[in-house]
Amino acid sequence: MRNSLKALILLLFSLISNSSFAQSRVNPEKTLIIGEFKSWISGQNVLGWDFHNETWKSRPGYLRVGDGSGFIDIVEDYNGKVDESKSRTYQNFNEIGILNITFEDTTYIGLGVEKIEGSYTYPEISQDWNYSSHYYIFVFEKEELSKLKTINGQIQLTPILGTNSYPTIRSEKFQGCYENVKFKFSRKNIEKTKYDPDWKLFVKKTNSESKEVIRFILPQNFNRYRFESVDFDNHYFEIPIEKFNELLLLL
């Protein structure tokens, strides 16, 4: 009798133990979908305007701002390649477009920006400058970007997050941003923050030479360890209102 009771207790203990270990401790995978890139505008068709040395000068797809401004002047003086000049400033783009971003069943709008960036092979002696395409995604709530539809004067837009692609998978273009976007979304859920305070997008509706135009600068990073704020009055990209309306149709 005593042996039978002991056997029954051991059996029950085994069933309870197996049941406990059978429960999954793996958190469900968070879903992220980065949709197809829909191109809006190319840098070669957009003039960036800079006021420098009491003179206005235009450049295709980039502005003379940042630490590399002096290098831009040198490259231009020697009739260097446009891409080399563009890579010296963070306010440059080859192409801008829109992507649908879905995270955990909520849909956002991603502003995709292809830029030219560079670095020295030997930074200690500033030798061998290399440059290539990099890809950025700035994720906005739909309500935030809808402010563009009623723009009057200058507005400031703040994204949910901003990030770039991994350099090692640059060939995937905007899909190369996948892991960074997913990480930042997950981090935001933990920190319970709505926006990414580092990034700001400025857009202005105004008149130039009796025509209605839109002026903008690419999202600026206001982290004091990265970039200084751009003087929007003296440095900006400018497009006709008709081209801006094409963007509204993509939103």
Token pair listed for 49: 């305007």
> What pLDDT, in 10s, does the model give residues 141-165?
999 999 999 999 999 999 999 999 9
Residue 4 structure tokens: 């039978």
- 188 pLDDT higher than 80: no
pLDDT at 25: 57
Per-residue pLDDT tens digits for 22-61: 555 565 667 999 999 999 999 999 999 999 999 999 999 9
Per-residue pLDDT tens digits for 74-124: 999 999 999 999 999 999 999 999 999 999 989 999 999 999 999 999 999
- DSSP conformation letters of the chain: -HHHHHHHHHHHHHHHHHHHHHS--PPPPPPEEE---EEEEEGGGSEEEEEETTEEEEEETB-S-STTHHHHHHHHHTT--HHHHHTT-SSB-SEEEEEEEEETTEEEEEEEEEEEEEEEEEGGGTEEEEEEEEEEEEEE-HHHHGGGGG--SEEEE--SEEEE--GGGGGGGGGGGHHHHHHHHHHHHHHT-SS-TTEEEEEEEEEETTEEEEEEEEEEE--TTT-PPP-TTTEEEEEEHHHHHHHHHH-
Binning pLDDT at 50, 70 and 90, where does residue 73 land?
very high
Domain spans of the chain, in order of start? 31-250
Q: Over pLDDT 70: what percentage of the chain?
A: 83
The per-residue pLDDT for 4 is 58
Task: Place 169 in a pLDDT band, splitting at 50, 70 and 90.
Answer: confident
Model confidence at 209: pLDDT above 80:
yes
pLDDT at 224 over 60: no
